[in-house]
Amino acid sequence: MLDSLRKAASTWIAKLLIGLLVLSFAVWGISGQILSGPGGAVLTAGQTSVSPLDFRLAYDRQVAELSQRLGTRLTREQAVALGVDNQVLAQLAAGAVLDETARTMDLGISQDKLAELAASDPAFRGADGRFDRRQFDFVLSQVGMRPEDYLKNREQAAKRQQIVDVVVSGIAAPDTLLHNVALYRGEDRTVEYVPLPRSLVEPVEAPAAVELERWFEEHKQDYAAPEYRTIQYVKLEAEDIADPSVISDEQVRTYYERNLERYTTPERRTIEQINFASREDAAAARESLRTGATFLDVAQMQDRTEEDILLGTFTREEVADEAIAEAAFALREGAVSDVVDGTFGPVLLRVTKVEPEKVTPLEQVSEEIRRELALDEASALVHDTYDAYEDARAAGQTMQEAAEKLRLTMRTVEAVDRTGRRPDGSVIDDLPQSRELLREAFETDKGLENPPISLPGNGYLFYEVAEITPARERTLDEVRERAMEDWREAEAEARLAERARELERALAEGRTLDDIAAEVGQEKVVKRGLKRQADDADLGRAGVAAVFGVPKNGTGVFDNPAGQGKFLFKVTEVFEPASASADAVPQEVATALAQGISNDLLDQLIARLQSEHEVTVNQTALQQALSF
């Protein structure tokens, strides 16, 4: 078991180190083969070129990163829609002009410095935190890279960094900028506002027939019925073919006896502990217990409370100090130990409660064991059952016939759209591997036998589309109630917005909020000390943004974040911070500003270098790279 854990940990660490290595390469893009000749290159800058393979490696990495962030594997069409190919070209072009500049400037790096860079890479550190040659060779072998290619990559990245450092090294946000940021962040305001509830314009009468028909025609697409499909599927996992009835009582009993510790709750003890400065002090305290003092009296003499001396409730294995564990688990309940030499000094122990070991009887867990053993046996048969299913389908049997032959269950999902909803709007929430199943089912055709979907662990999901109901436009009669409710909702919102605009005009022209509050039957609210970055519970982020979007005495309207309705407001006071300085800006904000300035300078550098070293793109080679 320990060896297995060590191997698993070793594998995990190796994967982590490989990830760190790949990430280090990703900072500046592909550079291992970037100085190849221009023939067949996707991109060239002077004598520096990027091969189709280099481009594809960078492209695949970008797609993988985006897929991980979005939680789904991007298709080629989706990647094009997101502009991934253009993003990768821009990144590689930036790297290429830096490489070409380094070449024309004849920049170099010493072998000692290159060795230092490689040795400092965290991916190559051993257990002692220092460079490990065996780790170096192992990690490079896992990513399919030769040591000389890695060193060339590091050398190229270091040359680029020399150019970049000249431009952005030591950049900091100017004090004037930080001072203005401090003023901006530190400003607070007093705002007065009045709620404008939907009740001001409700109830909204039912629309005339002509009005509802016009509304429906304008929003017809909102009521269209999507495409629905009837999907049949057969799930094949160990649980689907497990048969507990074939597990004998003898098998159950043997498993129980071999794994008795699994059904045993070990003894637990509640332990109290008093620490002493010396063994003599501990011995004197132990003697005082024999002459009438209580354990709590001794604790109080050591300036300890009852809470201080409670060590906790543990099994023997949970007590880290072996000497304390041995002594505590040798005591009877309520007894006090002799002096124990613990890891951190002499102690006295008392056991206040003993929870005896408990063994769950076989009859209480026999059915659970029977099911587990059946699942274990079935796991070994999943692939055989898969082969038998495929053979049955190849012989001409239908999904239903093949499933019945193997005692599997074919299930049918009637009329579901690609989001998993039924025609009544309810969501089907019990589909296995639902996202992938729906995606694949809506990309195939009716009656086709499709490749199975792999299930997590050891299983398969076979599926077919039995019926397809095409998307269509619904008639008004089909959705009249819903359309009428939607019209009322939109009409109420429009009327409230118009009323709010009228009241805001009146407020801007000199009418007071108190008068308006009385008119609409609401109370005016005054909020002081409102900060620009606040996520105010009453106003919400959008409301705070609106309040800080107008000058002193400015007015406005925003949606009530708590639900239906709006707020009409006026900014009555604006206060700048009494002592705004560059030092008042949080370090992370100052760092972000400096980074932004550095990025802008770097963008300007790249633009300048691209004007000096013309970048050309070979579209034929680009398409060739994308077709790998």
330-356 residue pLDDT tens: 999 999 999 999 988 999 999 999 999
DSSP letters, 163-203, are HHHHHHTT----HHHHHHHHHHHH-EEEEEEEEE-GGGTPS
Average pLDDT, the chain: 87
463-499 residue pLDDT tens: 999 999 999 999 999 999 999 999 999 999 999 999 9
- pLDDT of 65 strictly over 80: yes
Read off the pLDDT of each residue in 418-423 and give the average, rounded to a whole number: 93
Q: What Cα–Cα distance (Å) separates residue 575 from each residue in 43, 543, 548?
A: 55, 18, 12
User: Could you tell me if 151 and 118 are in contact, meaning their C-beta atoms sit under 8 angstroms apart?
Assistant: yes
Give the single-character DSSP code of 628.
-
Domain 228-245+366-469 is of which CATH architecture? Answer: Roll (3.10)
Confidence at 35, pLDDT banded by 50, 70, 90? very low
User: Could you tell me if 183 and 577 are in contact, meaning their C-beta atoms sit under 8 angstroms apart?
Assistant: yes
- pLDDT of 375 strictly over 80: yes
User: Pairing state of beta strands 615-617 and 228-237?
Assistant: unpaired
Q: Pick from 276, 262, 274, 352: which is nearest to 313 by CA?
A: 352
Read off the pLDDT of each residue in 380-394 and give the average, rounded to a whole number: 94
Q: Pick from 586, 537, 603, 540: which is nearest to 90 by CA?
A: 603
How many other C-beta atoms can be found within 10 angstroms of the C-beta atom of residue 614? 11
Question: What share of the chain in percent tops pLDDT 70?
Answer: 93
- Please tell me whether residue 347 adopts helix, strand or coil conformation: strand
Q: Pick from 355, 340, 329: which is nearest to 274 by CA?
A: 340
> What strand order describes the sheet that includes 410-416?
410-416, 228-237, 459-469, 453-455
- Please tell me whether residue 473 adopts helix, strand or coil conformation: coil
Read off the pLDDT of each residue in 394-422 and give the average, rounded to a whole number: 95
* Crossing angle (nearest 10°) for helices 249-258 and 362-379: 100
Confidence at 184, pLDDT banded by 50, 70, 90? confident
- pLDDT of 37 strictly over 50: no
Does the model's pTM come out above 0.85? no
Give the single-character DSSP code of 143.
T
State the Cα–Cα distance between residues 433 and 456, nearest whole angstrom: 9
Identify the CATH class of 2-169+608-626: mainly alpha
Which range has highest mean pLDDT (57-66, 170-179, 232-241)? 232-241
| CATH fold for domain 267-356 | Chitinase A; domain 3 (3.10.50)
Read off the pLDDT of each residue in 558-576 and give the average, rounded to a whole number: 93
